[in-house]
Structure 1
């Protein structure tokens, strides 16, 4: 929520100075801010002096070889980003032209999310909007949300049960868990029962942002625990660990669409694990950004074509 005192501070300053202040707070470096804005370094230094005078605060203070934002500057950063985003949405053309657009979008997602979304999204962008680049980052759920809140991330894909009020989201699909086992490690009927599940060793994917806490909570609900023999921070090698072993991998079912059915078997968990929503999240101030809304539609289209 915008603090009206901060908004009143910002309304006293002309728009060009606000743009420079935003760049300075982001870069915390006069020369880099000047390069980002295509201005001279003296012009940005002069603007910083004017901002300090108008706001009655140093805003950026030297520390070592760089600059550090003051407490007042940090308080202004969020309402300033809101104000500039609102102006940008007012001035931006109503129509977004993908074929001629030049822009970089910063997306946050787990390894799992990247495997689901990126191949199809990359093809769509190369065909329809070759001037749009993607910068992908990986963080915890909390880290992704913080990135969207601060403006460092344009769009986050993941499992977000409790989004802050400033964020908006759209569901991509409802997901459930499944178990991956070696085909020869189960009885002839191919059923994985609870005693077998609890007795066997497990592979745990501790991918940031992927939603693995749900499995442990579901086991706690039935007063059981499992033995984790191998824990991994990434998805790609996990299915290969199952083949030829007694290990069990319990993961989101969408990640098991392309496993080798000759050697591996996908079976339901022998206890209830609640399903969950996989969503796209962005800041509400970006609602009027036609380019971002177009990108969201492309992600939705990728999944629709994938048959999820």
Structure 2
């Protein structure tokens, strides 16, 4: 059949629904994003399955998983619709009129780095865009992106699976924090003393291997982790009045640099700096609202 005749028989609105379904992988979120009812989205999905002669989205373990054909369609469809919006849209994406909920995954460190500036911009420029913040381990955040349960993840991700894209937000360096009275009049610790002291580790899981411990391992050393906790925000407060040492991103310690009861110093060994990044699934790359969000996050950071 001639391609013109094929297109003549397609309701192009169905392709818009399919594009959002493949991005969201969730009927109710698709309905909310398109201002449709859930039954209308379910009906559109049924018509799409007939049109493509393929299930497109298969329910597994309470989630909608795209078929192989749907994955082939996704990137081509998203790019085609993006180009059509650029040609037909009178003013392009309008953040003032956009109604959307974005789901962001980050630690409380990421929240402190990004959310204040991001939310100020959202309230001024995009008052109808809502944000839901989730906290998880690095591995869990990447899984949320792959499963379509999250729009954007912020953090440190040395290894990324295929189909995920990334943009650098900042280069971070490590710093140490200790109680001033436990420093014996010194303004920093040498390596031997550093290793003899108990340490606080910020990690979502026990026994997590961090950039700090990797650097020590290369040197043939190991530190004693006395406290492991999942939150950056509380960690510096645990140092006061103890012999504990905290080694984390320098920016996370900025609120405590003027605290006279604590002392901030460089680690007594080389720890490579790390990139703080934002990560998203390639299926969202061409989404104008998502592109605007990524720009807003970069500016906030």
What TM bracket, shorter-length normalisation?
Answer: 0.7 to 0.9
Q: Matched residue of 1:100: which SS?
A: coil
Alignment match, 1:294: 292
Out of 264, 272, 275, the residue aligned to residue 274 of structure 1 is 272
Question: Cα 1:166–1:221, aligned 2, differ >3 Å: closer, same or farther?
Answer: same
Q: Does 1:79 align with 2:64?
A: no
CA contact (8 A) 2:103 2:132 kept: yes
For residues 153-208 of structure 1, the C-alpha deviation after alignment (integer angstroms, 9 at most, x for no partner) is 22221112233453332211111111110011113231211111111111111147
Q: 1:186 to 1:291 in 2, by over 3 A?
A: same
TM-score, with normalisation over the residues of structure 2?
0.79
Distance in 2, matches of 1:122 and 1:87, equals 31
**3-state SS, counterpart of residue 117 of structure 1:** helix
> What do the CA deviations read for 1:100-158 (whole angstroms, capped 9, x no partner)?
32222222211111111111211121122211111212222233233333433222211
Give 2:4's aligned residue. Answer: none
How many angstroms does 1:216 deviate by? 1.2
Following the alignment from structure 2 to structure 1, what is the Cα–Cα distance between the partners of residues 243 and 40?
Answer: 67
Corresponding residue pairs, total: 282
What's the TM-score, normalizing by structure 1?
0.77
Matched, 1:91 2:84: yes
The 10-residue stretch of structure 1 (44-53 or 185-194) with the greater mean CA deviation from structure 2:
44-53
Q: Which residue of 2 aligns with 1:199?
A: 196
Matches within 5 A, 1:148-167: 148-167=145-164
With over 3 angstroms needed to count, the CA separation of the structure-2 counterparts of 1:56 and 1:201, relative to structure 1, is closer
Partner of 1:125: 122
Matched, 1:182 2:183: no
| 2:102 counterpart of 1:105 | yes
Distance across 1 between alignment mates of 2:150 and 2:175? 31
Cα contact 1:78–1:150 (8 A) shared by 2: no
Query: CA shift at 1:230, angstroms?
Result: 0.9
Distance 1:246 1:57, change over 3 A: closer
Q: Which runs of 5+ in 1 are unaligned?
A: 1-11, 304-308
Contact (CA 8 Å) 1:175, 1:275: kept in 2 or not? yes
Find the aligned partners of 2:124 and 2:44 in 1 and give their Cα distance: 44
SS of corresponding position for 1:257: helix
Q: Does the 8 Å CA contact 1:60/1:67 hold for their aligned counterparts?
A: no
Give 1:196-235 correspondences, 5 Å limit: 196-207=193-204, 213-235=210-232
SS at match of 2:222: coil
8 Å contact from structure 2 (residues 203, 231) kept in 1: yes
2-structure distance, mates of 1:56, 1:241: 56
SS class of match (2:214): helix
- 8 Å Cα contact 1:205/1:212 also seen in 2: no
